[in-house]
Structure formats: C-alpha cells, structure tokens
Amino acid sequence: MSRLLLAAFAAVLMLCPPPAPAQAQAPPPPPGIEAGDAQAPVPRAIDAADLSAYVDGLVESAMRRDGIAGVTVAVVDREGPLLLRGYGIAAQAPQRAVDPAGTLFRIGSVSKTFTSLLALELVDEGRLDLDAPANDYLPEALRLPDDGLPPVLVRHLFTHTAGFEDSALGHLFVDRADAVPSLEDYLARHRPRRVRAPGKVAVYSNYSLGLLGAIVARARGAAFEELAERRLFAPLGMRLTTFREPLATGDARRAGAALEGRWSQGYLRQGGGFAPQHFEYIAHVAPAGSASSTADDMGRYLRMLLRGGELDGARVLAPSAHARLFGPSLFRNAPQTGGFSYGFFDWNLGATRVLAHGGSTGWFHSMLMLAPEEGVGIFVSTNTDTGRGLATQLPARVLERYFERARAPAARAAAVDTARFAGSYTGMRRNYTSAEKVFTGTTIDVEAAGDGVLVASGGGQARRLLAEGGLVFREAEGAGRVVFREDGQGRIIGFHDSAGHDSFERTRPWRGKPALVLALALAGAVSLLVLAGGWLRRDRRDKAGPPARRAAFWMYVSALAWLGFCAGLLWYAKCATGDPELVFYRYPGALLTVLLWSVPLLYLLVLVDAWHLGAAWRARGWGPGRRLRHVLAVLVWVAAAVALWDWNLVGWKL
C-alpha cells in the first residue's frame, strides 16, 4: 500500500496518540506547588545552551532524514522557557518560516487534554459525577440507547472504556469550510455502535471525548469553543490557541482575523519535495481534536500544569482539581501498561512518571509530555506526514538525556517458552459492524525468535520484545511493556499495548485480511478460467442434458458477475492508493457504493449455482475433470461470499 494511503489511514484513525512508552504503575507524585510559593526561585533543571545544541541536532537530523518541512518545539520548566524554537517552513508561497511564538500548528488529539481539564473542573466542583451515567448530563438527542449493555458512565468517557467501535471514514475530517456540521449534529448522526461492555478495556475513542465536550458545554451553558477561551486560554495568556477554524462566513465557530495567515500549511512529502495540502476541518468534533496552537502557548500550558494550576498570578485549576490530575490513574488495562488520568496518558520513562498526549491529523504530528517530578514539560509538532517519528521520540529523548531516572535499565530476556505467544493479532480499535471494518484495525504479527524473545511486526516496523516473566514482555529498545492475555484454559487470546490505548485480539488465519484478499483473488482467477474454458468450448456440442446445460449457463453468468466485481474492487483500490482523499473525505463514494450494493446479486448467483451442483455432478456428457472444476469454482465463490459477509462488504452495511 502506498505511503499516500497510509497517510490517509493514519489521519482517519486520527488524533490518535503516537505510540509511546508505558510502563509499570507510577509512584506517588510529589505535591503541586502551592499558590503562596509559586514565585519561589527554583534551580533550572536543564542547561539551556546544551539543550539548544542537543535539540537542534535531533530536529535537523530528522528533517533531513525523513523529509519534514517544518517543526516547532517548546521545552519549559516551572520558571519559564528553556527552549522555544521553530525550524523550517510554515508556508511556501510566499515562503514563511516557522515562528514558535506566531505559527499555528494543528495539534490533533492533544486537544483532548484541554477538554478533559474543563470536565475535571466540573468533577472537582461536584457538578459532574464520575460514576453517574453519561446520559444524565446529555441532551435527549445525544443520549446513548439502551442496547442491552450496562450504562456508559462519565468515567468511561475520560478513560476510553465506553466500549465504542471506531468509525472515521468520510466524516471525521471535512475538506470544505461550508460543510462542517455542528458538534451536536455530528454526534447524533455518527454515533458508533457499542461492541463491548463499558469499563472492561481501554480502546481509544474520539467519539467519547466528543461526548465529554458536549457535556461540558451543556453544563456551562456556553459554546464549547467560547468556553475553552474563557476558562483556559485567556487566563493563561494563550492568545494564539483556539478550537476555532477558518470556517465559512457566518459560522459562529469561525476563527477571527487575528489568526489569519498564522496557520502552518500541512504537507505531503512527495517527489523529493513538499506538496501543500488543504485545511483539515475538525470543528464538528472540536473537543476531540480541532485545536491549533503555537509552541510558545503550549509552553505556557505546560508551565501552568507544573506550577500546580497557576501561572503569572492567574489560577486556572483549583489545587484540589490539580491534585486529582496528578493522583492515581483512573484506569489501566494492566498494571504494567500505560493508564489514563483525566485526559492525559499516564506513563513511566524508566522510574520517571510522565503525563503525556500525542495527536495526529493527516499532515501534522504532535506530542506533549510533562514530567512533574523533574519539573520539565516538552511540546513538539511537525507539519508533514513524515514527521510522526520525530514527534513521538523527541520528548522522551530529551528526558532520557538529562535525567538518569528516565533511562530504562538494560533488559535481558527471561527463560520463557515464546511459541505460545506467536500468532496474528488485530487491534480492538476498529470497526465491527460496517464496511469500514476492512479499512480499520492494526494487525500485528508476533513471531517467536528464540528463548524469551518475540518479534512483533506491523505497519512497516518491527520491534523485539523480551520476556520479563509470566505474560509481560518489554521492548528491547525502549521501556514499553506489553501484557498478554489468556483464557481460562491458559491459551493466549490477545495482549494489551504498552501505551494503554488499545488492546489486541488473536486472529485466526481465516479471519484476517490476507484471507479476504486471497478469497477475492481466487474468485477473480476462477471466474477468468471459467470464461476462458467456455470460450474454448464454444464450437463443441454439449452432450449433457438440459439440467447440466443450465448449470453451465449460470456458471458463466456467475463468472462474469464475479470477474466484474473483483475488477471493480481492484480499480477502487488503485484509485484510493493514488488519491487517498477518496477514502479520507469522500468515503464510501459512488464506485464502492455500487460495488457493495451488487454483492446481493453475487449471493443470489451463488445460491443458483449451488442449486445446480447436483445436475452438474451427474452430467453424463462431462468428464470427471470438468465436473470437479465446476464444483471447485462454486466452492471458491461460496468462500468469497462468506468472506464478504464477514467483512461487512455488502451494501446495507456501508
């Protein structure tokens, strides 16, 4: 699959934090700074000159290696900025350099930390009960239906444990300023199905944070964008941070004139250069990811969090709310994996606790990381599709360089039989009930590579996992831990990822995407062979009786239908690979819609062919070879039909 289409899928799975280390249960955090000593001088944790040289080297090397147009970075401690730097370009025509104090980068799911802090305030004030049903706080149009599962609680929205499937294609991003629905309309129209009981496992959900934002707006009686400005951005002096976008004139969410010309362009690395991309509109699900900001503003945000909720005399978070944020995690999939703490991922780097969140759109990749015990916060954002690696790695690299506690000790594999862990695993962050199923879900192939060593491959990358004992494995080149799961009979059925925002289920070979591709490829090949055989026999008189000739006739009709369907799918795949926006913005599109609504005809033809199998098998004028080929062709089409059903590739499941 081309990098163009991979970029599109990365974006529609959006706002998704880049993979990052997540380890053992965090130690109790130090108390926040009290208002009375907020201005007390604190020794600088990092030498600014050395930091500047180090970060310059990291960023400039990555920009050359990966082809990144622009980067913005902030590193701060409680006293102020240690580094504010812009690298490369924000626009080409006319050329505009990245300004860390003036260039707006799209920060994707880092937006969720703002939303969660606004909701945390309500929890701290007693106006929002973590253990109350979310429906108690939602307007009628947004209330979740009673679908036989326990109710979704408010805490489940904070921790991504509501049990929603993932749905994104064709609606999570919009490419026209005049076609962006309201938050309420979007949440009502694009509600994903609940596919598991709430509170059981954390699986990342943009929809959950959209609902949480709607709850906050309703409780405060104000539009979400206005609320964020009034309660967070204005008090913090974050004058260039906004959930607003350059929408159509008359839209109440439209960004003001003060922000015009400040957004960085998003870029696709292509042909040795940078192809500018159009603006990605996310205002319809703003609480989950529409925010834009500068490195300077994000540095102020980090300093407020490091200073106990106060900055420059303005208290944004009450001490009690700040204590909740820095207290124990609200949820972890396993004690050794990352957890959730009011909108932040709760991870460990070595022995250092960090609160973090990443975010990605199609072209921008960002990471925010806060190390409370070390008193340092880091923010980085890139404006090119190739910038994910730099955004993911830079904050951890900085902390590991300057704080020994953040460095993971050398790992050695324990003596564990790894054969039982080998297999193919599919992420639970996927669609289950619609045709989106085939486009979503990360697949990881795990292979045993010696005593106590596994190799996990997926997404074009591979990592070695070293056994620590039991069901826990640690990354050989990092400190992240994955924890496998077993059933009552001791069989491995899945694993929790290290970051804590997804869990993987073991996939049987016949249920994976390769099996779907194989089934459709065989269906197309068999159809071609059937038609070729008919053409070669066109001048021969068929000595079989009428029932067998009818079986042959319907066989040729089925072959034409299956060949046309498979050719159509190949054409769609070619178009989607060359133009990822076909899936990104215009899903399902006319071609895929026609193809999937033709599937019922294929099912009908399969039934007709199956009905005529007896006549074909008893045909006296056919040799054993032809009878066997006829039966095998029908069986191949039956297998392909089952695969299409299993993957929801049928019109009414679009």
Q: What is the pLDDT of residue 479?
A: 77
Does 39 map to a domain?
Answer: no
Q: How confident is the model at residue 248 (pLDDT cuts 50, 70, 90)?
A: very high
Does 45 map to a domain?
Answer: no
pLDDT tens track for 396-443: 999 999 999 999 888 788 888 899 999 999 999 999 999 999 998 899
CA-to-CA distance for 453 and 423, rounded, in angstroms? 14
Please say if the pLDDT value at position 98 is more than 70.
Answer: yes
Q: Does residue 647 share a domain with residue 562?
A: yes
pLDDT tens track for 568-603: 999 999 998 888 788 889 999 999 999 999 999 999
Pick from 31-45, 335-349, 384-398, 507-521: least confident: 31-45
Q: What is the mean pLDDT of residues 307-322?
A: 96
3-state secondary structure 173-229: CECCHHHCCCHHHHHHHCCCCECCCCCCCCCCCHHHHHHHHHHHHHHHCCCHHHHHH
Q: Does residue 375 share a domain with residue 231?
A: yes
Burial environment of residue 2 by CB neighbours within 10 A (0 to 12, 13 to 18, 19 or more): exposed
Please say if the pLDDT value at position 32 is more than 50.
Answer: no
Name which residue leads in pLDDT, 558 or 548: 558
- The set of residues, in sequence order, having a beta carbon less than 8 Å from that of 16 and lying 6+ positions away, is 10, 108, 109, 204, 358, 359, 360, 429, 501
Does 35 map to a domain?
Answer: no
> Could you tell me which of 608, 605, 526, 604 has the C-alpha nearest to residue 563?
526
Q: What is the pLDDT of residue 34?
A: 39
CA 576 to chain centroid, in Å, comes to 19
Region of 450 on the Ramachandran plot (φ > 0 left; ψ -120 to 50 alpha; else beta) = left
Q: How many domains does the chain contain in total?
A: 3
Q: What is the mean pLDDT of residues 89-108?
A: 96
Q: What is the pLDDT of residue 540?
A: 78
Q: Does residue 482 share a domain with residue 424?
A: yes
pLDDT tens track for 460-500: 889 999 999 899 999 988 778 999 999 999 999 999 999 99
Name which residue leads in pLDDT, 552 or 9: 552
Q: What is the pLDDT of residue 542?
A: 73
Q: Does residue 282 share a domain with residue 260?
A: yes
Q: What is the mean pLDDT of residues 443-465?
A: 91
Domain termination residue (choose one: 479, 507, 535): 507
Please say if the pLDDT value at position 630 is more than 70.
Answer: yes
Q: Does residue 276 share a domain with residue 231?
A: yes
Please say if the pLDDT value at position 23 is more than 70.
Answer: no
Q: Does residue 74 share a domain with residue 191?
A: yes
Domain termination residue (choose one: 406, 441, 472): 406
Share of the chain above pLDDT 70, in %: 93
Q: What is the mean pLDDT of residues 170-196?
A: 95
Q: Does residue 424 share a domain with residue 356?
A: no
Handedness of CA 620, 625, 628, 630 (dihedral sign): negative
Asked if residues 363 and 388 have their Cβ atoms less than 8 Å apart, the reply is no
Does 40 map to a domain?
Answer: no
Q: Does residue 444 share a domain with residue 592?
A: no
Domain around 429: 419-507
The number of residues in the chain equals 654
Residue type for 209, please? L
**Which CATH number belongs to the domain containing residue 487 in this structure?**
2.40.128
Share of the chain above pLDDT 90, in %: 81
Q: How confident is the model at residue 42 (pLDDT cuts 50, 70, 90)?
A: low
Q: What is the pLDDT of residue 547?
A: 86
**Which CATH number belongs to the domain containing residue 342 in this structure?**
3.40.710.10
Q: What is the pLDDT of residue 15?
A: 52
Q: How confident is the model at residue 24 (pLDDT cuts 50, 70, 90)?
A: very low
Q: Does residue 583 share a domain with residue 559?
A: yes
Q: What is the pLDDT of residue 369?
A: 98
Does 27 map to a domain?
Answer: no
Tell me, yes or no, if the pTM score tops 0.75.
yes
The H or E element spanning position 268 is strand 266-270
- The set of residues, in sequence order, having a beta carbon less than 8 Å from that of 548 and lying 6+ positions away, is 542, 615, 616, 618, 619, 620, 621, 622
Q: What is the pLDDT of residue 41?
A: 56
pLDDT tens track for 214-235: 999 999 999 999 999 999 999 9
Q: Does residue 482 share a domain with residue 537?
A: no
Does 563 map to a domain?
Answer: yes
Please say if the pLDDT value at position 16 is more than 60.
Answer: no
Q: What is the pLDDT of residue 545?
A: 80
Q: Does residue 207 share a domain with residue 350?
A: yes
Please say if the pLDDT value at position 261 is more than 90.
Answer: yes
Pick from 222-226, 301-305, 546-550: least confident: 546-550
Does 164 map to a domain?
Answer: yes
Catalytic residues: 109, 204
Does 213 map to a domain?
Answer: yes
Domain termination residue (choose one: 406, 435, 469): 406
Q: Does residue 392 share a domain with residue 310?
A: yes
